[in-house]
Amino acid sequence: MRGGSAVSGFGLGASYVWRGFRTWSSNPKLMAWGLVPGAATFLLVVGAFVAVSYNVGDAASWVIDRVASGATGPLATALSVLVAIALVAGSLLAAVYTFTALTLLVGQPFFERISRLVDDELGPPDAPAEEGWWRSTLRGLAEFAKLLSLTAVVAIGLFFASLIPVAGTVTAFVMGAVFGGWLLSLELTAYPLSRRGHTDLRHRRHQLATQRSVSAGFGVTVFLLFLIPFGAVLAMPSATAGATLLTRRLLGEAEATRTR
């Protein structure tokens, strides 16, 4: 990171999340509308997650029967618990990403307006012509499928890491938060970066990589907020505003009109 340590960069990235919450004071009505698509998607994703969690015991037994069929007594119980935790952890990572991607897709008009609100207050950027709604939607669906596949692969890796007692569970959680945070940074900065001509996923990934610690601090903070019950719904509009602030930082745009 330029001009500071990774730790200070991480803290700076986290601060953009909290600054995003201050956007409520600028236009509370618009921010409140931003809760609607998140609430609808939340019900869908939570329903799927609950279904997975409800059947996690059977899934754990199925896994144990194939990798440790001879285990009995306390050993079998311990393995069942570890496998159940690993399955829930992997499902949680997929649920957080899926919620974010679908909510941004469904609520595009609301989140676009929130992002523009932040830019208008701080000084609109010189932006190229924007791509059409259909083109943007199709691109978003293709990126969603690509990143969801990557998430599934990582979730499998975290599953096996979680099987290591204590240390593996902690390591898997940290790795999941970092990877999940990076995905959320990619998704949440899609609108402001696309509005500036960075529509390709590779280009957006490159912009985030220019200040990795800042991007990670923002994404991990959002990821942890999303793990709080109803936190994903309540934080989504603010995360969108914060992602616009992050984008301005990444591209070196001055906060011309007023500071926050």
| 235 vs 64, residue with greater confidence | 235
The length of the chain is 260
- Which amino acid appears at position 123 of this protein? G
pTM of the model: 0.81
What's the average model confidence in pLDDT over 82-100? 77
162-220: per-residue pLDDT in tens?
767 667 778 888 888 999 999 999 999 988 998 888 888 888 899 999 999 999 999 99
DSSP letters, 17-60, are HHHHHGGGGT-HHHHHHTHHHHHHHHHHHHHHHHHHHHTHHHHH
Q: Collect all residues with Cβ–Cβ distance below 8 Å to 200 and sequence separation of at least 6.
A: none
- Structural contact between residues 64 and 71, judged by C-beta atoms closer than 8 angstroms: yes
16-58: per-residue pLDDT in tens?
999 999 999 888 999 999 999 999 898 888 887 777 666 666 6
For the chain, give the mean pLDDT. Answer: 81
- Which amino acid appears at position 93 of this protein? L
Residue given tokens 């998704």 in the structure block:
187
Both tokens of 59, joined, read: 């899934």
